[in-house]
Structure 1
Amino acid sequence: MKTDLLIIGSGIAGLTFAVKMAKRFPQKSIIIVTKANTDETNTKYAQGGIAVVNDMERDSFSKHIEDTLVAGDGLCNEHVVDIVVKEGPERVNEIIEWGTRFDKDVQGDYKRGKEGGHSEFRILHHKDITGFEIERALVAEARKYANIQIHDHWLVLDIITQHHLGYLVTKSTPDITCYGVYALDLRDNRVEKILARCTVMASGGAGQVYRTTTNPRIATGDGIAMVYRAKGRIESMEFIQFHPTALYEAGVSPSFLVTEAVRGDGGILRNKEGEAFMPRYDARADLAPRDVVARAIDNEMKRTGTEHVYLDCRHMDMEHFRGHFPNIYAKCMSIGIDVAKQMIPVAPAAHYCCGGIKVDEWGRSSILNLYACGECSSTGLHGANRLASNSLLEALVFAHRCAVDIAERIDGVSFAEEVPEWNTSGTNDPREMILITQSLKELQQVMSDYVGIVRNDIRLQRAMNRIDLLHNETEELYRSTTLSPQLCELRNLITIGYLVVRSAQFRKESRGLHYNTDHPAKSGPVQQIVL
């Protein structure tokens, strides 16, 4: 298969890029590869909304920039923050033109929410299913263009580089080039070679590396792992954001997200003793940034010996609650919790990967002809901690920037010649699936117990020792058995676990989402951890 443009992932970043390129180049071929149904993405599960300054009377770019920098705890790329905040309104207007519907009041003005770390009401939303609405609109828009082909239920295995042509490729190789990918058609278990002039990685996050996460089961860090194996640059993987308020249901995964917008509308966190504990931890109380709130909840749970705290909404206007948060209300009722009378049990869950594939301000990775945008990328916007609802905005802005840069240079890029087919010789069908499923459970347990919200050096070393063992066992299985999606995802998740732990070991300070009790104070010059 050959295509001018190859996009891995069908969330907000991948679809936005595809639509923009299809509009500009109707004669160029565009293939989107996604490993589940087209709309099964992290985007679909985003509840709260998209942060954007579009009311200059009450808000300003400078306020949004300052809020982002404060949340990022000294590690944001200020130039990138400026770009995203100032280019954001135009990008949001585009998806509105493509059919995205955000809630409005009776006067026709947009309803704006406020979330942790924000100084103003600037979050556009569609009830409590904003991501679902954005994904719906973008899928519908993409299907209008004849030159966009969407291949769902295809799992990308590896990025094709000079390595596959028989050359030695290392981190120091100056011109590593992406020629396309090998992908597994999950419907007939056939590996296909897809060659492309330019490839855009928009593969989403990696929440499944933890036992408890708000991410869907597809969020296995495939893109980040593939780029690392291809000797591309990965950065800031120590900064895994735990959403403070996932609905607590013992043994249920993924966890149902209770959006931060509930606290923005007045919800109060309480411990098992009924105390509103957040004022003890931060002057911003329940609207402090997510890293602060997640650590506070973690501490309360450990102090009181409980597995969750509570979100109290009983004092809120229930008519407004049901209108703004209908899915949260329905979900709570389905498990016997009447929000008007009972508090909601909540606990932190892995939610967002602030690091990822290192890219520049145009989305270019360290590998030639390979771009990245969305959660799999590290643009410098989030720094050490993502400001709530900035991620959807970042995806729109960088999808646009990838499109601008690729449009200027794609005609000068040629297809690779003589790329070999995928080699399956010497492999057998796996005899025991338990070898894969048990390793996944072990990895998630290790990451949750040793590399969670609070870390220390001993826990990190123990995690690394166990991940090394899992890596060796899984690589042997990968070499000796035929491919399965479960094995490929396990291999990717082990790589993600290694990257998180190694980055955390390198950072000898506590900053943002990385809190190490052996290095509690920020110390020395600010640095990015690049692997």
Structure 2
Amino acid sequence: MTLSADVVVIGSGVAGLSTALGLAATRSVLLVSAGDGSTPWSQGGVAAAFGDDDPDEHLHDTEIAGAGFCDPRTVRMLVEEGPQRVAELIAQGARFDRDADGSLSRTLEGGHSRPRVVHAGGDATGAEIHRALRSAVQRTGVRTVEGRVTGLIKSDDGHVVGVLVDDGEGVEQVDARAVVLATGGIGNAYLTSTNPPAVSGDGLALALRAGASLVDMEFVQFHPTVLFTGASGGQLPLVTEAVRGEGAVLRDNDGRRIMAGLHPRADLAPRDIVARAVEATMRRDGTDHVWLDATAIRPDVLRRRFPTVLESCARIGVDMLTDQIPIAPAEHFLCGGIRTDRDGATDVPGLYAVGEAAATGVHGANRLASNSLLEGLVFGRRVATALTLELRRATTGRSQTVLLGRDHEPERIREVLTRSAGIRRDGLQLETAAEELEPLGSGPLATVARAVVAAASTRRDSRGCHWRSDHPHPDEQWSGHLAVRLDHDGRPAVQQHDLAAAH
């Protein structure tokens, strides 16, 4: 039996849940979940400028971190609408940490000019936001299906009108008037990531195969402080940036501070700068990790603010209160994604994207800390508002089913992408990677890996979290955004694109 809904939302992280919640009162919604995504693993918090903080300062910090590649209009939406979304989240039951006087507790993170990051459970903000949103969605009666979306259905006139869902027992067709991709980033395309295994680029691959554009795929952010466990692959525990906000510092094997003199904000410089400094130190010393020293922070502060990090460290025999923490960078966040307008609409009618899967323009070439949960809240509501105000009538003609292909040797894909498109890149490695990825199938990992490599090969300069050792400086020739589409042979084709024009 074929299911149907006005809107199918794929993904149950903050962006998907926010979208479903915003639509629940006016549209029939089906939420498809293949796991909880990255939201429950987010530690730091939500950046929001309110009270004596000015949204213009938040905007300025966002644009500085984004290395001049942010879209000012969508950043302004983020910083001005953000506090209202946080207030609504509190009204829905989210329990944020508060100071003794009852006000929301705010901390400092890298790239921010002042403390503006609200948090929950010390370092369990994502888990609390996910709990609150999921409970709110459940109260609305939104239908939920557990499964993986394996295909999109398009009508005769090119509109997306449904999905195929594999629930483990078979493939079900779901008809819809619109489909929203809230599937997260591409973490599982790399050997190590802070993302869970289900975050594997499925939504981006489906959108690309359906005819949509991907934008800014070269800007893959690596978090500089991920717990070094000795594992050779998979999801690794994050050591939140807020630990450095409370006073922790990075040290090399000889105890020297890594960030001293490299940036005015030292250990709280934007993530791309810190990650490159850590990688350069490891390469210089021939080590596989460096150290984060939090021993100067009072033990009561560490216990109250970072219970998750304390527990992760304890599992590998490290006492965060007295020991230095072994850390190394790992893939963390895709700053680009599926090209959308300010309301989440893609190049393909009926197909929307939101959250990390979407390129809204708010992150530019490097995401500012704690803007990701905020993006999901703000743009999830914007997509819901757009689909509440205007939703195309359903059509009956079916002309095409867009399917996810199959990855050959997925571990090989991860190895190639990690080697060629990590923190440090060069043209020869990227050229070799493109050749090596060619025979490795048409599944999501291979599709997004080819898109990253194609964009990184094309951009012959360095900015934000894209750094090429053979072109180490920004070049105005490459001041435009790069869009990736598939050509007639299914290969990625790259062209310069004005992202702001879409917004």
The answer to whether 1:14 aligns with 2:9 is: no
Q: Is the 8 A contact 1:193 1:422 kept in 2?
A: no
Q: Is the 8 A contact 2:153 2:401 kept in 1?
A: no
Aligned pairs for 1:378-389 within 5 A: 378-389=359-370
Give the aligned partner of residue 54 of structure 1.
50
Secondary structure of residue in 1 paired with 2:171: strand
For residues 144 and 368 of structure 2, what CA distance do their matches in structure 1 show? 32
Q: Is the 8 A contact 2:31 2:144 kept in 1?
A: yes
Normalised to the residue count of structure 1, the TM-score between the two structures is 0.88
For residues 180 and 418 of structure 2, what CA distance do their matches in structure 1 show? 31
The answer to whether 1:134 aligns with 2:129 is: yes
For residues 119 and 358 of structure 1, what CA distance do their matches in structure 2 show? 30
Q: Which amino acid in structure 1 is aligned with residue 112 of structure 2?
A: H
For residues 391 and 413 of structure 1, what CA distance do their matches in structure 2 show? 33
Q: Is the 8 A contact 1:191 1:422 kept in 2?
A: no
Aligned pairs for 1:402-481 within 5 A: 402-410=383-391, 412-418=392-398, 439-470=409-440, 474-475=441-442
Secondary structure of residue in 1 paired with 2:21: helix
Q: Which amino acid in structure 1 is aligned with residue 448 of structure 2?
A: I
Count of paired positions = 479
Out of 88, 97, 103, the residue aligned to residue 91 of structure 2 is 97
The answer to whether 1:200 aligns with 2:205 is: no
Secondary structure of residue in 1 paired with 2:69: coil
Q: Is the 8 A contact 1:271 1:277 kept in 2?
A: yes
For residues 350 and 422 of structure 1, what CA distance do their matches in structure 2 show? 28
Give the aligned partner of residue 111 of structure 1.
105
The answer to whether 1:32 aligns with 2:5 is: no
Using the TM superposition, name which of 42-51 and 191-200 deviates more.
Answer: 191-200
The answer to whether 1:506 aligns with 2:458 is: yes
Aligned pairs for 1:93-492 within 5 A: 93-126=87-120, 127-146=122-141, 148-152=142-146, 154-162=147-155, 176-186=158-168, 188=169, 190-251=170-231, 253-410=234-391, 412-418=392-398, 439-470=409-440, 474-475=441-442, 491-492=443-444
* Structure 2 residue runs without a partner (length 5+): 485-503
Q: Which amino acid in structure 1 is aligned with residue 224 of structure 2?
A: P
Secondary structure of residue in 2 paired with 1:330: helix
Q: CA deviation at 1:215?
A: 0.4
For residues 15 and 454 of structure 2, what CA distance do their matches in structure 1 show? 28
Shift in alpha-carbon separation, 1:116–1:420, aligned structure 2, 3 A: closer
Give the aligned partner of residue 522 of structure 1.
474
For residues 327 and 377 of structure 1, what CA distance do their matches in structure 2 show? 29
Q: CA deviation at 1:420?
A: 7.9
Secondary structure of residue in 2 paired with 1:237: coil
For residues 235 and 517 of structure 1, what CA distance do their matches in structure 2 show? 22
Q: Is the 8 A contact 2:209 2:402 kept in 1?
A: no
For residues 368 and 421 of structure 1, what CA distance do their matches in structure 2 show? 15
Q: Is the 8 A contact 1:195 1:415 kept in 2?
A: no
Secondary structure of residue in 1 paired with 2:348: coil
RMSD (CA atoms): 1.8
Using the TM superposition, name which of 278-287 and 221-230 deviates more.
Answer: 278-287
Q: CA deviation at 1:419?
A: 6.3
Q: CA deviation at 1:442?
A: 0.9
For residues 199 and 462 of structure 1, what CA distance do their matches in structure 2 show? 36
Using the TM superposition, name which of 64-73 and 275-284 deviates more.
Answer: 275-284
Q: CA deviation at 1:268?
A: 0.5
For residues 420 and 297 of structure 1, what CA distance do their matches in structure 2 show? 47
For residues 228 and 31 of structure 1, what CA distance do their matches in structure 2 show? 23
Q: CA deviation at 1:520?
A: 1.2
Using the TM superposition, name which of 267-276 and 191-200 deviates more.
Answer: 191-200
Q: CA deviation at 1:211?
A: 0.6
Secondary structure of residue in 2 paired with 1:150: strand
Cα deviation per residue 1:7-42 (whole Å; 9 max; x = unaligned)? 00011111111111113x1xx421001123xxx221
Shift in alpha-carbon separation, 1:420–1:346, aligned structure 2, 3 A: closer
Secondary structure of residue in 2 paired with 1:310: strand
Q: CA deviation at 1:334?
A: 2.4
Q: Is the 8 A contact 1:193 1:421 kept in 2?
A: no
Shift in alpha-carbon separation, 1:422–1:501, aligned structure 2, 3 A: closer
Q: Which amino acid in structure 2 is aligned with residue 75 of structure 1?
A: F
Secondary structure of residue in 1 paired with 2:439: helix
